[in-house]
Chains A and B, each alone.
Chain A
Amino acid sequence: MSVTGSKRLLSVVAFAVFSLLAGSAQAQTRAETLRYVTGATVNTLDPNIPGSTREAFAVSLSTYDRLVSFGRKQLNGKWVFDLDTITGELAESFDVSPDGLKLTFHLRKDAKFQDGTPVSAEDVKWSLDRAVTAPVLGKAQLLTGSMTSPDQFKVVDPLTFEVTLPKPDKLALPNLATVYPIIINAKVAKEHATADDPWATAWLKEHTAGSGAYRIDMFKPGEQVIMTRNDTWNRGTTDKSASFKRIIVQSVPEPATRANLVERGDADIVIDLQASDVQSLEAKGKLKVISTPQYNAVTFVSMNNLIPPFDNVNVRRAVAFALPYDDMFKAALFGRGAPLFGATWADGRPASGAYPIPQPVKLDLEKARDYLKAAGLPDGFSTTFSFNVGQASTAEPMAALIKESLAKIGIKVDIQKLPDAQMSTQINEKKLPFFTEGIVAWLPSTDYFYRNFYTGNQRWNYSSIDNPELVAIAQEARFEPDKAKYEEDGRKLNAIHFNEIPQIPLWQPNQDAVMAPSIEGYTYQFHRQVDYRDLSRK
């Protein structure tokens, strides 16, 4: 062997040894790092900023604490958030006065902001004042829990904080566990407030001043966020700090690439794959797939009840019995979800007072033709069916099937695919006659759904229904303390819904969380994102 030859061999061996060493060192930190990939982006560090994305919500849950948080429960063998169990986060404990008008929070004595200063009731007051006063998203949210004014928030002593309500509102406490009412380090934030911006919204958009489980290392809007664990944080369910040392949230726009990444083990968890990819990954059996029906979300086929011919209830009924539900469910979702059709209601009465419940509708063209005849349109009519580009992967096959099926009863459908911003604009202006959209409620109670999605001339009332009886029952149910009466109200509302069929609930799509087999603790949360604090590695 020549000298140069042996030298070359030596360098190759050295390189191999070196890369092995480097590899094992990297593997160690890799195990302590969670890499989460998503098609969406994080655009602000303060979830309150108008225009915040859902990924921004998820990051803020880890960087900030709230007074309270939701517990979790098992639903069909999967962990989901539990609206009925509220546990303390920054509050060690809380009391509700017997008349339900006063909520008293006792703060943790050991809770500190990430800069080391203790969390005090003054910080809590400043943060909640901000949520109901500043031009932020928290305002509309806290309104649904009867919290509208700083006068309702009182500092009793440095560790005791009190909220006063005008009425005993079931949703007041859960509201404080939602994404918006984060507790901010008031002293730090005030230093960055200006005369134009007294609540430091501009500064908090780019910086954090919280007490949360993770601190921000790097924030590249639209690309990635890297967070490091706050070791002193102990608000986890077991009074521990979070498990992963580092969290990487990375935007990967192409769904096929996300699927490749998680399959090859380069990414640890992803929740927004295409249904077809989830199905094939699940079939291969190498990864853990946790599918939870999004039980606080609903996908609809909506009809504008003010635009003829959909102002006629018999036309709406005809459509409801002419949709090819099973085919749509298979083609759009690959069956991944909870169907809201094909139920049988004993004596035609709603099976429960919950919302949404499966409706007693199925594909029945004879019945549909009869309803069209009753509506005085035996020969059908023409209309357009719209959906937005962002939902094309599920809505496109759905639209084609709807078109085909409705043609059989004489309804001619033109399919219209709209860019997302155009679609939301037209919905807001009530210009679309017939379309598909979805809704989600963070606090999914029956009255909340009916009050927000079936009331008033506003965007979320997709069907533009205006039914005084429905509005009255929903308002009354909101403050109904008696559970049996509340259930009865819910049944009444569901009966009105089926009788009027303002829009047709289709299904609750699955949240398909696909993760490395070593990842544990995944919980389906009300915000439909991953709460990184839940996760650990075996």
Chain B
Amino acid sequence: MAGGMAAFGVTMARAGKRFLSSLPVLLGVLVFTFLLMRVLPGDPAVFFASGPNAGKEEIEVIRKQMGLDKPVPEQLMLYLYDVGRGNLGRSMTTGQPVTTDLRARLPASLELTFAALLIALVSAVPLGVLAALRPGSIIDHGVRLFCALGVCVPTFVSGLLLIYVFYYLLGVAPDPTGRVDIFASLPPSRTGFLLIDFLLAGDIDGWWAAFRQLILPALSMALFVIAPLARITRASMLVSLGSDFIRTARSVGLPWWRVVVTYALRNAILPVITITGIVFSTMLGANVLVEKVFSWPGVASYALDALLSSDYAPVQGFVLLMASVFVIVNLVVDVLYGIADPRVTVG
């Protein structure tokens, strides 16, 4: 017990150190994005002054509003000062402070990504294990084909296809617009995760509605990431199954499921965790197409809209958010490593 606590303490200390060392990276990302946005050849003030009578004066007003009338170094200093105080600026696209927008939209993206990741893991790991148990068999080839298809079909195509079949043709799915039926009432927002908020409010019908709304987008995202997860599970299971301790375990007559799950899978899971971490971060930022197709009010589609109109503040805020998520996910992966393989904490 004491040993376990100590190991946990070591893991935490290591995580803390990792977090501190990532702060300069975050600052670097911030400054880099800031400069990059200003180098891009689009002038947001001209874009937003697009009313039928907008002239030079309107452009100047917007430039001033966005703080673009000042020299770039001064803008950067002001921006860093604001970020330090938790103010990420204001989005011209939605007219809201960027922090408000991100706070409202991040749970939507996270909920979708978690759901997709759950579906992906629940299907990818068994598929990978099955394929590894019978390499070269029909099952193995079937899994390979399925994975190849999942990767080949872009998420928006699978999304549109799912909508076409389940909403348009069969009519079993709710209309693919956002997180909850537009006519339904929302639960009081506690966590921002609708599935949790509905449960907290004790609204089972609402929970079911939100769940139905979530299935199709989560599925189209999951399809895309099942492949890397299943392949990595298979490869690492193959290595693990071929090692000496498995042969020993088999030879002493342990039940096969115990050999596979307790010994082989636990040893094979490390690379899967690493890939899962990477896949998660990528999904969160790259699910923009799914968000667009399903009108999902998430952060990725928000950032894309902002980017197209050269709206600086939301893009910078989004990149900062993604960098932070990446840092946090890496920390979590570190901690999970410690749990999966106690040796890691020593190193």
Contacts and interface: CB of A to CB of B under 8 A. Distances in A.
* Most chain A CB inside 10 Å of its own CB: which residue of B52, B93, B164, B310: B52
Contacts of A133: none
B101 interface: yes
A248 B302 CA distance: 21
B163 A222 contact: no
Nearest to B96: A221
B295 A254 contact: yes
Scoring B58, B171, B175 by chain A CB atoms within 10 A of each residue's CB, the highest score goes to B175
A459 B55 contact: yes
A29 B183 CA distance: 10
A250 B183 CA distance: 11
Which residue among A264, A390, A459 has the maximum number of chain B CB atoms within 10 Å of its CB? A459
Contacts of B48: 50-51
Interface stretch (A2-10, A421-429, A466-474, A486-494): A421-429
Contacts of A440: 52
Interface in A440-458: 440-442, 452, 458
Contact of A222 (B177, B293, B302): B302
A501 interface: no
Contact of B94 (A222, A264, A389): A222
B95 A422 contact: no
B51 interface: yes
A352 interface: no
A441 B53 CA distance: 9
Interface in A9-56: 26, 29-30, 33, 35, 37, 41, 43-44, 49-52
Most B Cβ at <10 Å: residue of A35, A135, A254: A254
A44 B40 CA distance: 27
A248 B181 CA distance: 12
Q: Classify chain A's interface size.
A: 35 or more
B47 A424 contact: yes
A206 to B, nearest CB: 8
A266 interface: yes
B20 interface: no
Contacts of B182: 35, 224, 248, 250
Interface in B170-219: 171, 175-178, 182-183
Contacts of A458: 55-56
A420 B55 contact: no
A425 B58 CA distance: 14
B80 interface: no
A222 B53 contact: no
Size band of the B side of the interface? 35 or more
B92 interface: yes
B62 interface: yes
B128 interface: no
A442 B52 contact: yes
Interface string A218-259: 001111100000000000000000000000101111101100
A428 B51 CA distance: 14
A44 B93 CA distance: 9
Contacts of B46: 421, 424-425, 428, 459
Nearest to A138: B53
B57 A140 contact: yes
A252 B297 contact: no
B58 A140 contact: yes
Contacts of A43: 92-95
A204 to B, nearest CB: 11
A349 B43 CA distance: 42
Contacts of B305: 41, 222
B292 interface: yes
Given A140-B54, A419-B310, A458-B56, A254 B293 contact: yes
Contacts of B101: 221-222
Interface string B125-161: 0000000000000000000000000000000000010
Nearest to A431: B41
A33 B95 CA distance: 27
Contact of B92 (A51, A260, A264): A51
A205 interface: yes
A132 to B, nearest CB: 13
A420 B311 CA distance: 11
A43 B307 CA distance: 16
Contacts of A106: none
Contacts of A51: 48-49, 62, 92, 95
B62 A257 contact: no
Contacts of A248: 182
B243 interface: no
Given A51-B48, A141-B53, A421-B310, 15 more contacts: A29-B183, A44-B95, A50-B48, A50-B51, A50-B62, A205-B95, A221-B95, A251-B295, A254-B293, A264-B167, A389-B308, A419-B307, A421-B46, A421-B309, A422-B42
Interface of A: 26, 29-30, 33, 35, 37, 41, 43-44, 49-52, 135, 137, 139-141, 143-144, 205, 220-224, 248, 250-254, 256-257, 260-261, 263-264, 266-267, 389-390, 419-422, 424-426, 428, 440-442, 452, 458-459
16 contacts: A51-B92, A141-B52, A220-B104, A224-B178, A256-B160, A261-B175, A261-B177, A263-B168, A264-B171, A419-B308, A420-B42, A424-B47, A424-B50, A425-B41, A428-B43, A459-B46
